Structure 1
Amino acid sequence: MKMELLGGATVVLLVCIACLLSFAAWKGRSGKGKMPPGPAPLPILGNLLQMKTSNMTKTLQKLSEEYGPVFTVHMGSDPVVVLHGYDVVKEALIDRADEFAARGREPTGDRANQGLGIVFSNNEPWLHVRRFSLTALRNFGMGKRSIEERIQEESDYLLEEIHKTKGTPFDATFMLSCAVSNVICSIVFGRRYDYKDKKFLALMSNVNNITEMMSSSWGQLYQMFSSILDYLPGPHNNVFAEFDALKAFVAEEVKLHQASLDPNSPQDYIDCFLSKMQEEKDRPNSSFHMKNLVTCAFDLFIAGTETTSATLKYGLLLLIKYPKIQEKIQEEIDQVVGRSRKPSVADRTQMPYTDAVVHEIQRFIAFVPLSLPHTVTKDTSFRDYIIPKGTTIYPVLASVLHDSKEFPNPHEFNPEHFLNKDGSFRKSNFFMPFSAGKRICPGEGLARMEIFLFLATILQNFTLKTVVNPQELSITPTLSGISNVPPDFQLRAFPR
């Protein structure tokens, strides 16, 4: 009995000593001229007890109220510097873009992509493939047809699907995913897929599952404790099967392209990449090789599908919640576009209210609230602090998009946030849903075009209604982690 008590006391003593040492090390590292301040971490657990994994944005907002706009939290044993508010986010990502351009540690993306692709890569390989991919996207699908035409053509298929519902309640999730995904598929793979194609629907399900899993509590825990969880079974591992399924689909498409490639007449992104691989086949350490092609095409496919389709889904939810806003958009569409032709990008300048609603949807939902992590490649002096080389940095985009000085009552959905008193469109430097600086989303232009054109086309043709009382509709994300996942809902569409 005595031995057991002695053993228990020894464990408690060791834990206390570990906590004291951890506290002393933390005190020695933070303060002026050192790491930014923050809550004292526990050994191994870090600040887990202070972090609400179901809503990281709220947790970080509360900590910023206590520690200021630049502070440190420990995700497990790793320190993470958080930038909270427009001034510090702008200073890091825009004013000092080169110093803060590197991608920080993101365990799920790092394990899935192994340093390849566009989103989770760094250094020279990242620069090469990003530059190449931006050029490919700017060429409007390799110059065959403009991106706008592709979106307009796809909107016809989407309208057809909505017509089939005949005013009965439906969930728009998959039809929106298919529509948006088909735009990026036409650029990357050179083809679109039928909305009833079982293989294509399975892919949409994979994409959906990845977003939900990465934003779940398990996804957040994996972010903090990947070095331990990598060796343990559990739900955190399921996301990698979803990644593998998507990559297998991309690899299959690449094989088909290899068989039909005409280097003088590339039909899509994959053809261009294959041609670039041939050009650089004798160059040692070229970034253009088969594994990187699969990963880059995968990155474009998933990024070009989920962010925009989830934004549109959230947009429809907000429009059935606030029918008067929907009516005002329809009045503007009728005035500027009419009913006999499709809305075009050129109409946007004559449609300030619709443009304001599109911006307000993106601002309100803050789809990627924390941004993807950044890092610094050398010890960096920032404000009064030193951020050590390799430290992960979270520029909290939600803190910019929900800034109460720039957007009064930021947690209310109100298109007036983007309108001047005379009804003209009001630009804001605080509008950063796609991040900012060197790591701004390469598909920003495409996404903005899609959100505007798809929403305008749907509302030109249909009036959308909720199946419950609008006041009963929840517009709170079901999950808030790496992204804000919109709640599921049903709606009805009546032809106008």
Structure 2
Amino acid sequence: MEPLGMSTVLLVICISCLLLSAVWKRGAQGKGKMPPGPTPLPLIGNALQLKGKPLDQALRKISEQYGPVFTLYFGMDPAVVLYGYEAIKEALIDHGNDFAGRARMPLTERTGGEKGIVFSNGENWKQIRRFILSTLRNFGMGKKSIEERIQEETRYLLEKFHDTKGQPFDPHNLFGCATANVICSIVFGKRYEYNDEKFQTLITATNEDNELFNSFWGQEKQNETFELTMENMVACSLELFGAGTETTSTTLRYGFLILQKYPEIEEKVQEEIDRVVGRSRMPSMADRGQMPYTDAVIHEIQRFVSLSPMSVPHSVVKDTSFRGYVIPKGTTVMPALISVLYDGKEFPNPTEFDPGHFLNKDGTFRKSNYFVPFSAGKRNCAGEGLARMELFLFFTSILQNFKLKPLMDPQDIDLSPLEGRMDNCPQPYKFRVIPR
């Protein structure tokens, strides 16, 4: 192409970009007084403002300029970002009904659309959530039967750790199998051997869906009807595996990587386990109240990891007035949970791993309203109780029986998450475990 022709093409592209940007701005103004935000680029939106730096730093910089409520474009679609505890609390709790919608996402169309609890809306969501919570209670959520299921699976997991015989291994699959089997025991009434082909196929499919979920974003329309159909039950079961398997497994993987970097913290946890539980029996949930340091370490792992830094996107169910702005019905709303979990006033030196964030001066456990890894308000994680129980029992049982042995100098362990994902996952790693 000759120079004149190339110049013409570039001029056309520039004019098109300017026109498209103007259309976006007029469209946003026509729908209401949307919160301000950085100017988006055609097609890619505000991707450049978020690329190349940690998410918490990028969002903090934008918030410093535009305030705790601002608009970002993900591709062509605008999303209102809530930054900081006060803004998130005001929206999700104080005005929870208005912000209780769920944004549409491409993966939901593939795996069940508006079925299930995570991506449904309106009355459909209310009925499904009520059904799921009731069913989990009937299966033993908060009762001893669920605890016994987890403890049973813990025994199998410990056997697999023993089978490594001190050799390096990647814990990814073992943690995935253990957490998936807890869900299997609830949904199917049985567990599976870790090498079972169908079981491994299920885990692989769950992992692939989670990969897709954390790579692509979109929208979802509302459905006000609820039917207890087979499709809905399948969707709910898939969500139990998707949300209840990989998230807990990833938190465990990240947690044991962190402890390899800080062996002094591992030792203090093991001292508390030995003092409270001993070696002759398995840990139980009744022990947690007597183990403030261990409880603080698990909470700090969840805070530090910030597994879902932007939560699962919400949407407003009607045109909503909020802090002087008007957010049009159906607009995606993204609570920046990481801005709460990394709040410097609540958690001094938030980028540092410090169990002291959840300990009082006298060594007792310190509760915090800023602990929101499961989100907050009406759309918080329905499986929070199960996840908390799994994390405590798996975590303490492994440390009761094994000493962690990293394959490198602890100072060289990289705790930064994988790039290019909407969630925070640890870098792949191997380590060794030695029976205590």
TM normalised by structure 1 equals 0.81
* TM-superposed deviation, 1:419: 0.2
Task: State whether structure 2 residue 278 is matched by structure 1 residue 338.
Answer: yes
Per the alignment, do residues 141 and 349 of structure 1 end up closer, same or farther by CA in structure 2, a change over 3 Å counting?
Answer: closer
Task: State whether structure 2 residue 386 is matched by structure 1 residue 456.
Answer: no
Paired amino acid for 1:394? M
Say if 1:19 and 1:42, in contact at 8 Å, map to a contact too. no
Task: Give the structure 2 partner of residue 259 of structure 1.
Answer: none
Task: Give the structure 2 partner of residue 84 of structure 1.
Answer: 83
CA distance in 2, matches of 1:445, 1:65: 35
Per the alignment, do residues 56 and 105 of structure 1 end up closer, same or farther by CA in structure 2, a change over 3 Å counting?
Answer: farther
Unaligned residue ranges in structure 2 (runs of 5+): none
* TM-superposed deviation, 1:175: 0.8
Task: State whether structure 2 residue 355 is matched by structure 1 residue 415.
Answer: yes
Say if 2:209 and 2:242, in contact at 8 Å, map to a contact too. no
Which of the residues 200, 208, 217 maps onto 1:223? 217
Paired amino acid for 2:181? N
Say if 1:195 and 1:201, in contact at 8 Å, map to a contact too. yes
**Correspondence 1:179-258 to 2 at 5 A:** 179-215=178-214, 219=215, 222-223=216-217
* TM-superposed deviation, 1:16: 1.8
CA distance in 1, matches of 2:12, 2:158: 68
* TM-superposed deviation, 1:495: 1.0
CA distance in 2, matches of 1:17, 1:145: 63
CA distance in 2, matches of 1:179, 1:372: 24
**Correspondence 1:444-483 to 2 at 5 A:** 444-479=384-419, 481-483=421-423
Task: State whether structure 2 residue 22 is matched by structure 1 residue 23.
Answer: yes
Task: Give the structure 2 partner of residue 244 of structure 1.
Answer: none
The Cα RMSD (Å) is 2.6
SS at match of 1:395: strand
CA distance in 1, matches of 2:141, 2:67: 47
Say if 1:56 and 1:480, in contact at 8 Å, map to a contact too. no
* TM-superposed deviation, 1:166: 1.1
Paired amino acid for 1:402? Y
Paired amino acid for 1:488? P
Per the alignment, do residues 319 and 143 of structure 1 end up closer, same or farther by CA in structure 2, a change over 3 Å counting?
Answer: closer
Task: State whether structure 2 residue 315 is matched by structure 1 residue 316.
Answer: no
Q: Deviations over 1:3-23 (max 9, x none)?
A: x95896487257426514633
Deviates more, 1:316-325 or 1:141-150: 141-150
Paired amino acid for 2:58? T
Say if 1:37 and 1:67, in contact at 8 Å, map to a contact too. yes
Task: State whether structure 2 residue 11 is matched by structure 1 residue 12.
Answer: yes
Task: State whether structure 2 residue 160 is matched by structure 1 residue 148.
Answer: no
Which of the residues 294, 297, 311 maps onto 2:234? 294
Per the alignment, do residues 108 and 61 of structure 1 end up closer, same or farther by CA in structure 2, a change over 3 Å counting?
Answer: farther
Task: State whether structure 2 residue 94 is matched by structure 1 residue 95.
Answer: yes
Per the alignment, do residues 306 and 423 of structure 1 end up closer, same or farther by CA in structure 2, a change over 3 Å counting?
Answer: same
* TM-superposed deviation, 1:141: 4.4
SS at match of 1:73: strand
CA distance in 1, matches of 2:400, 2:254: 18
CA distance in 2, matches of 1:11, 1:340: 74
CA distance in 1, matches of 2:9, 2:195: 64
Say if 1:92 and 1:100, in contact at 8 Å, map to a contact too. yes
Say if 2:127 and 2:226, in contact at 8 Å, map to a contact too. no
CA distance in 1, matches of 2:195, 2:12: 63
SS at match of 2:310: coil
Task: Give the structure 2 partner of residue 41 of structure 1.
Answer: 40
* TM-superposed deviation, 1:110: 3.6
CA distance in 1, matches of 2:228, 2:218: 32
SS at match of 1:425: coil
Say if 1:367 and 1:485, in contact at 8 Å, map to a contact too. yes
Paired amino acid for 2:165? K
* TM-superposed deviation, 1:302: 1.5
Say if 2:170 and 2:430, in contact at 8 Å, map to a contact too. yes
* TM-superposed deviation, 1:47: 2.3
* TM-superposed deviation, 1:97: 1.0
Per the alignment, do residues 472 and 30 of structure 1 end up closer, same or farther by CA in structure 2, a change over 3 Å counting?
Answer: farther
Per the alignment, do residues 202 and 34 of structure 1 end up closer, same or farther by CA in structure 2, a change over 3 Å counting?
Answer: same
Task: Give the structure 1 partner of residue 339 of structure 2.
Answer: 399
Per the alignment, do residues 124 and 224 of structure 1 end up closer, same or farther by CA in structure 2, a change over 3 Å counting?
Answer: closer
Which of the residues 261, 264, 268 maps onto 1:328? 268
Say if 1:188 and 1:301, in contact at 8 Å, map to a contact too. no
Task: State whether structure 2 residue 371 is matched by structure 1 residue 372.
Answer: no
Say if 1:57 and 1:480, in contact at 8 Å, map to a contact too. no
Which of the residues 351, 356, 376 maps onto 2:291? 351
SS at match of 2:139: coil
Paired amino acid for 2:262? Y
Unaligned residue ranges in structure 1 (runs of 5+): 227-284
Say if 2:181 and 2:191, in contact at 8 Å, map to a contact too. yes
CA distance in 1, matches of 2:136, 2:419: 31
Deviates more, 1:198-207 or 1:400-409: 198-207
Paired amino acid for 1:157? Y
Say if 2:100 and 2:379, in contact at 8 Å, map to a contact too. yes
Per the alignment, do residues 224 and 64 of structure 1 end up closer, same or farther by CA in structure 2, a change over 3 Å counting?
Answer: farther
Paired amino acid for 2:248? T
CA distance in 2, matches of 1:15, 1:175: 52
Per the alignment, do residues 296 and 214 of structure 1 end up closer, same or farther by CA in structure 2, a change over 3 Å counting?
Answer: closer
SS at match of 2:353: coil
Task: Give the structure 1 partner of residue 156 of structure 2.
Answer: 157
Per the alignment, do residues 397 and 323 of structure 1 end up closer, same or farther by CA in structure 2, a change over 3 Å counting?
Answer: same
Task: Give the structure 2 partner of residue 114 of structure 1.
Answer: 113
CA distance in 1, matches of 2:370, 2:409: 33
Say if 2:123 and 2:226, in contact at 8 Å, map to a contact too. no
CA distance in 2, matches of 1:419, 1:18: 53
Per the alignment, do residues 14 and 363 of structure 1 end up closer, same or farther by CA in structure 2, a change over 3 Å counting?
Answer: closer
* TM-superposed deviation, 1:109: 2.5
CA distance in 2, matches of 1:343, 1:415: 20
Task: Give the structure 1 partner of residue 63 of structure 2.
Answer: 64
